[in-house]
């Protein structure tokens, strides 16, 4: 394992690496939108999405790279309607072999700083209620619980609730 990593904004040319990463990381926990090899968006679609984020005034995709491969990804997706323009949705994942080294914390702090510059006032997310590591990370970085989303996920034949959280910037 490469011990050094860099964090930067993703660009369209990262699309192939992003697909490999998302298909790997999906198999490492039950807390993401898809399981192993479950990410089915074609490379052109990922390229378009990364180009849009790069040009956007209220969205960001950050990646961490080690040894030329993506090892973490964090995304902030701002809402467009004028009455929701102050809010943005957040998601994050880190490759399992890199958990517990502060990468998640660093990526959230960077995104929060950039979000503030983009005039975003609230970052929001949902986290599966038994995801202790995710919940600890979010509480540590200033998110507060604001509700429960019942039956948020259906995974391995079971419904799972999620905690709805927000961070006021």
Ligand X SMILES: CC(C)(COP(=O)(O)OP(=O)(O)OC[C@H]1O[C@@H](n2cnc3c(N)ncnc32)[C@H](O)[C@@H]1OP(=O)(O)O)[C@@H](O)C(=O)NCCC(=O)NCCS
C-beta closer to ligand X: residue 132 or 145: 132
Q: Are 27 and 59 in contact (CB under 8 A)?
A: no
Sign of CA dihedral 9, 97, 18, 167: negative
Stretch that binds ligand X, among 81-89, 115-123, 134-142, 145-153 (CB under 6 A): 134-142
Rounded distance between C-alpha atoms, residue 21 and residue 93, angstroms: 10
Position among 2, 13, 132, 144 found at the interface with ligand X (CB under 6 A) = 132
Q: What is the closest distance, in whole angstroms, from the C-beta atom of residue 108 to ligand X in the complex?
A: 8
Extract the tokens encoding 80.
Answer: 């467009």
Stretch that binds ligand X, among 48-56, 80-88, 127-135, 147-155 (CB under 6 A): 127-135
Task: Rule CB under 6 A: say whether 131 interacts with ligand X.
Answer: yes
Stretch that binds ligand X, among 4-12, 45-53, 77-85, 133-141 (CB under 6 A): 133-141
Determine the residue with CB nearest ligand X.
Answer: 104
Query: Could you give phi then psi for residue 108, rounded to 5 degrees?
Result: -65, -45
**Rounded-to-10 torsion of CA 21, 23, 25, 26:** 150
At a CB cut-off of 8 Å and minimum separation 6, what does 150 contact? 159, 161
- Contact pattern for ligand X over residues 53 through 82, marking x by CB under 6 A: ------------------------------
């Amino acid at each position: 394992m490469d011990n050094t990593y860099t964090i930067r904004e993703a660009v369209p040319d990262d699309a192939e690496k992003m697909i490999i990463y998302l298909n790997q990381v999906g198999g490492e926990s039950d807390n993401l939108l898809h399981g192993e090899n479950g990410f089915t968006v074609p490379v052109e679609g990922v390229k378009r999405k990364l180009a849009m984020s790069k040009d956007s005034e209220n969205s960001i995709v950050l990646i961490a790279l080690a040894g030329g491969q993506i090892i973490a990804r964090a995304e902030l997706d701002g809402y467009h309607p004028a009455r929701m323009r102050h809010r943005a949705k957040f998601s994050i994942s880190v490759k399992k072999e890199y958990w517990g080294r502060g990468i998640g914390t660093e990526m959230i702090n960077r995104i929060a700083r950039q979000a503030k510059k983009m005039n975003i006032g609230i970052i929001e997310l949902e986290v599966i209620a038994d995801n202790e590591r995710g919940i600890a990370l979010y509480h540590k970085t200033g998110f507060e619980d604001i509700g429960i989303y019942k039956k948020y996920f259906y995974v391995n034949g079971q419904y799972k609730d999620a905690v709805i959280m927000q961070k006021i910037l």
